[in-house]
Structure 1
Amino acid sequence: MNTGTTAAGLPGSRAPDTDSGPAPGAAAPRAENPPGPAGGAARLGWLDALRGFAALTVVWFHLSPVVLGPGRHLRIHHHIDLGKYGVLLFFLVSGYVIPMSLERHGSLRRFWVGRLFRVYPAYLVTVAVTGILALAGLGGVRASLRADPVTAVLAHASMLLDPLGLRGTVRVFWTLSYEMIFYLVVAGLFAWRLHRHSGWWAAGLAVVALVAGPRLPDGMFAADPAGRRVTAAVLLVAVAAVVAAGLSGRRRLAVAAGTAGIAFLILPAIDGHPTADSTVVASWQGLLLLAVMFSGTVVFRAQHGQLGRWPAALALAAVGGGTVAAHWAHLPGRTAHLVWLTTVAAVAATFAVAYAMRRRAVPRILAWLGTISYSLYLLHVVVLGQVTRLMPDLASRPAPLRVVAGGAFLLLALGVAAVSQRLVERPGQALGRRLLRALEGAPGPARSVPITTERAAPRTRRRQETRRSV
């Protein structure tokens, strides 16, 4: 995962809120923060705090070359890569929250409406902003995107940029590819009732990455322009079909689409690094990213009694150890090996501390940062680009000026993110809720593919949970 100076960030989306209740007839997971009325969901404060902290880490990762000056920021990255650290933290959060959200929905329809209207509005606005800036001469578009605009549009539509060997109009879009793959796979597992086996998926992906390693092909489908365009079109159609099946509310269609969703695991396994524009360095590293996300799911299942402590601990050890071992085995350089060791250890420790403090009150500033973290992730690099354009060679200026400029950038980036969250994200989510009400008012099942997410509950409790969810 060659994050470089522009490649780390929030992977795909701000982790979603929990939903308002389980599917009728399904026992509700034991939630430490029970569903509440605000926005139809309760916020899990410790996850907000973790997202806020990770967002600031990502911002600092991109800002540090400017504030610290040429070369000085590299001293930090000889010990820990803050870009990778932020990415892996966000992936753990997504892995924890996405299955929880899906299973509390008890409905693929609700899940996909929630995902699409949470992720796409701010994403599309960011694409539009970068396009406008480019047309105004205030930014550029990568040559590979200009060379084949059709493929670029198809890839941006599906969000599967990185396995197609493309960089987005904003480089940090690469993590969206793995978020989208995770959504598709988890939804497919849910449809097939295989979602409870998170430990096996997490450990299995890590083991495959370690054992298969360089033997996995890196560009089977998208290594050349013609193959890239065809693959981009096929992937967009496949994503649209899976989502449409989930929205249909029909069990058989959802199960059929679930097969396609699970099959998306093949994409990073054989097409993880088709070109130099891919951020992931090889297919085995793409599998490790998905293993990290499933690790978050393992924590969720262990917390709610769906997975024993020892199986969960073994799965997490397999992912952590496999991630470090795979990079030691498949990447050259002792420095890189030590950086991966310290980075993975720091991610695990940070998540463990946040989890241990999950019952404590969260500082408002961290909760607020978690709320705006998605927009902050998408837009802070755009803001930084404009700051450095207004102040060329900023990294070479005197230290006091660099610090002042860095502080001004941070305030501006937070302000832009807050505006985006209020004017783009929130209205987008509200539109999704209106669409969901319209869909569920139409003929057909109101909730698709209801699947029990806990062990069987007594009949009385099940009736109570059903009434509460309604």
Structure 2
Amino acid sequence: MRGIAALAVALMHVSSSFVELPGRSVVDRTGLFTIQALSNGYGAVVAFFVISGFVLARSLDKNFDIARFVVARVFRLYPAAIVTVAIFVAVYYCSGFSLYPKASFEPLNVVANMLMLRVDIDLVMWSMKAEVAATPLIIFCVWLFRRHGTSAVVAMTLVLFGLAFVGQFSKSIGDDTNLALLFAFPVGILVHFRGGDLAARLTPAAVTLSAIASVAVFCGCSFFKPTGTWTLLVQCLSAATLVMLIAWRAGATTFAPLDVAVVRFYGKISYSFYLLHPLTLWGAGRLVVNSMAQFETVPVTLIVIAAFVLSVVAVTPLAWLSWKFVELPAMNRLQSARASRSELPLRVLPSDQRAN
């Protein structure tokens, strides 16, 4: 699901300037509509947050060690982000190219971007800045559920949803990040704690219908204001339904495509792919514009699809390298360190010291 969401973000960025064109044929009348429906990139970020709430709640519920959790988040989020910013900086200093006109490559600003305090070098990292900011919220909501149950987390979710209407709250950690989506994290946490009970009550037919309806509603949100608070809520509930069904009714044939090797592959590299895919956006955009001018009879739909495919093909090897040599080593080193500490022999004190 993460991989599909990352691809949806990439499709949105490649096609957003072209899906509202009048088109050239009957192919475009249906094709551009379909592309817009499938490119709900902002909704995909909402889905990322729901998934994070669900997965991180599972981790904390299994072992509520806050220090362990925070260290794990640092090792999970920062290495790939630091390398990504370094790549953007290298591209700039080697070629003078910057995808975003307001990006600053001054040393202190580069460090701030690597720490996700600012995100002007790679704008998609705004969502990662929000993830970092949400870490205390996730810890608190899991503690809240364990201490006070479902109603307390539901109340927290409603409070955060209400705050999403307040601009000062949404931009409280900077204009480059939108905190209106924070309520998606406790929704994901609720899916972990209560989703299994709800999913168990559904018949196989109900699972299939719920999944199809959730995908349809999610795609339909592409045609509304993506940052509208009510649209965010609908997308959040659709994503939560899918996460619940995938987690607790994984055997349903509806979800068989998620086990296809290529889907799982993009699921593995989804984080690095998401961070790095803007590197290809300028080239993809120029390809669409030039192709439209040169091939006047070719449907715009086919040109946009070709640009998207080439963009994905171009960034995939780099994303895989980042996953293989940055993400995995960071996580493995953390696990190795934990294993080493757990295997340390206990130091036996003399009897007089034990008494003290």
TM-score w.r.t. length of structure 1: 0.54
Alignment of 1:17-416 (within 5 A): 50-65=1-16, 68=19, 70=21, 82-137=40-95, 139-140=97-98, 142=100, 145-146=103-104, 150=108, 153-154=111-112, 156-157=114-115, 159-161=116-118, 167-188=119-140, 193-196=143-146, 197=149, 199-207=151-159, 209-210=161-162, 216=166, 218=168, 268=169, 271=172, 274-275=174-175, 278-280=176-178, 286-287=179-180, 289-303=181-195, 343-344=235-236, 346-348=238-240, 350-351=242-243, 353-355=245-247, 357-360=249-252, 362-388=259-285, 393=290, 398=295, 399=298, 400-416=302-318
The 2-side partners of 1:71 and 1:338 are apart by: 29
Instruction: Report the aligned-residue RMSD.
Output: 4.3
The 2-side partners of 1:89 and 1:64 are apart by: 20
Amino acid at match of 1:122: A
Measured after TM superposition, the shift of residue 186 of structure 1 is 2.7
Equivalent pair of 2:8/2:38 in contact (CA under 8 Å): no
1:268-318 deviations in Å (ceiling 9; x for gaps): 56715x44xx242xxxxx25x22111111101101467xxx9xxxxxxxxx
Equivalent pair of 1:79/1:342 in contact (CA under 8 Å): no
Measured after TM superposition, the shift of residue 179 of structure 1 is 1.1
- Does the residue aligned with 1:146 lie in a helix, a strand or coil? coil
Equivalent pair of 1:130/1:170 in contact (CA under 8 Å): yes
The 1-side partners of 2:137 and 2:309 are apart by: 40
Matched, 1:421 2:323: yes
TM-score w.r.t. length of structure 2: 0.68
Amino acid at match of 1:57: A
- Greater relative CO, 1 or 2 (CA 8 Å, sep 6+): 1
The 1-side partners of 2:132 and 2:68 are apart by: 16
The structure with the largest helix share of the pair is 2
The 1-side partners of 2:324 and 2:110 are apart by: 29
Structure 2: state its 5+ residue gaps. Answer: 24-30, 202-223, 348-356
Measured after TM superposition, the shift of residue 188 of structure 1 is 4.9
Equivalent pair of 1:100/1:300 in contact (CA under 8 Å): yes
Measured after TM superposition, the shift of residue 173 of structure 1 is 0.2
Call closer, same or farther: CA 1:199–1:80 in 2, change over 3 Å.
farther
Equivalent pair of 1:217/1:270 in contact (CA under 8 Å): yes
Amino acid at match of 2:10: V
Call closer, same or farther: CA 1:147–1:387 in 2, change over 3 Å.
closer
Equivalent pair of 2:43/2:232 in contact (CA under 8 Å): no
Aligned length: 307
Alignment of 1:434-449 (within 5 A): 434-440=336-342
The 1-side partners of 2:99 and 2:313 are apart by: 26
The farther-off stretch of 79-88 and 124-133 is 79-88
Measured after TM superposition, the shift of residue 341 of structure 1 is 7.2
The 1-side partners of 2:171 and 2:231 are apart by: 26
Call closer, same or farther: CA 1:422–1:403 in 2, change over 3 Å.
same
Amino acid at match of 1:421: W
Measured after TM superposition, the shift of residue 140 of structure 1 is 1.3
Measured after TM superposition, the shift of residue 348 of structure 1 is 4.8
The 1-side partners of 2:150 and 2:113 are apart by: 29
The farther-off stretch of 345-354 and 431-440 is 345-354
Equivalent pair of 2:14/2:285 in contact (CA under 8 Å): no
Equivalent pair of 1:383/1:409 in contact (CA under 8 Å): yes
Measured after TM superposition, the shift of residue 185 of structure 1 is 2.7
- Does the residue aligned with 1:194 lie in a helix, a strand or coil? helix
